[in-house]
A = this chain, B = another copy of it.
Amino acid sequence: MRVYSIGVDLGGTNLRIAAVDSEGKLLEKLTSGAEVQRGRDFVIGEMCDAIQSLSVKFRDSAQLAGIGIGVPGFIDMDTGTVMRSPNLPDWINFPVREQIERKLGATVILENDANSAAMGEKWLGAGRNTDHMAMYTLGTGVGGGLVFNGRLWHGMNGMAGELGHINVEPEGHPCGCGSRGCLEQYASATAIVRMAHEAIASGNAQDLADGARGNVEFTSRGIYQLAIQGHASAQRIYQTVGRALAIGVGGMVNALNLPMFVIGGGVASAWDAFAPTMFAELKVRSFIYSITAQDHVEPGQKHTVVTIALLGSDAGLYGAARLPMLQTISQSQPTRSQAHA
């Protein structure tokens, strides 16, 4: 009987749930509004109903490995608790794993959404040929995930991979984390809009000001449209994004010597606006490797590949589905040894 698992991606806007088999084939996907304003019990109830309907549907044709749930926020991995989440206001010290395991009687793995996305890209996306990679998720904020030896690196208590909070400007813009000048303040969708408003306020960005008046939604996507239409002030903003990414990624290239860095999230679709600056700066700012325009890892490769994510908004969903399968694998096989250990 084939093995499958159920992945859940809970965002601030959508709740998406999928049954995926162990080869990465999508069996079925359900999407609904997350309705987080109706409270956590409502959301958990909706989630459990959808999971149950999928598990009933595939009960006779496949064996359920478990349920993986990706949520935004800080998670205590030992207890499966959401400690806090910017998008889920009432999820404070909320024991999600225990709640769902009790309702469904199945194995549940709770994971940070950026980590889930990293696992998705590792399994079926840009990182499918490598066991070691870092992923940056450029969205409302900047998330990150680290995969070492094919597994997510959680660190001491599940907080690892906060690659959006590497400093790229020592006295830069204040960050919600309490620091200032974090990558998140220069490479997130929020930061792009802020930088556009700053440019307009400075009086040196007439084309952005015109664009802002013309657009109903003045978003990072709208600013990208202005950039590809040739407006210099919009282009400069995406060059700032590229330079900030190069400082952040370059430091991690030097620190971790990984074969692959993957850039995903909504802002990654503006790749052609920020990637040229990013690659030019990476050549200077990561001292070991030549960075080539390559999108996969080759055997025996000696340089680092920096590339765009392939799974789009499905990365987190596939990654969440992968997690229970990996747990099954690690129970039956010894873990692979570390690179060059």
Contacts and interface: CB of A to CB of B under 8 A. Distances in A.
A166 B251 contact: yes
A281 to B, nearest CB: 9
A266 interface: no
Q: What is the interface residue range for chain A against chain B?
A: 35 or more
Contact of A160 (B156, B167, B257, B284): B257
Contacts of A330: 337, 341
Given A151-B341, A170-B247, A338-B151, A255 B156 contact: no
Contacts of A165: 251, 254, 287
A25 interface: no
A132 interface: yes
Interface of A: 74, 77-78, 132, 144, 146, 148-149, 151-163, 165-170, 175, 177-180, 243, 247, 250-252, 254-259, 284-288, 301-302, 304, 330, 334-341
9 contacts: A74-B288, A146-B255, A149-B338, A162-B254, A162-B288, A167-B250, A178-B284, A179-B285, A330-B337
Given A153-B338, A155-B340, A160-B256, 13 more contacts: A132-B156, A154-B338, A155-B257, A155-B258, A157-B302, A158-B257, A159-B257, A166-B255, A167-B168, A169-B170, A170-B247, A179-B284, A179-B286
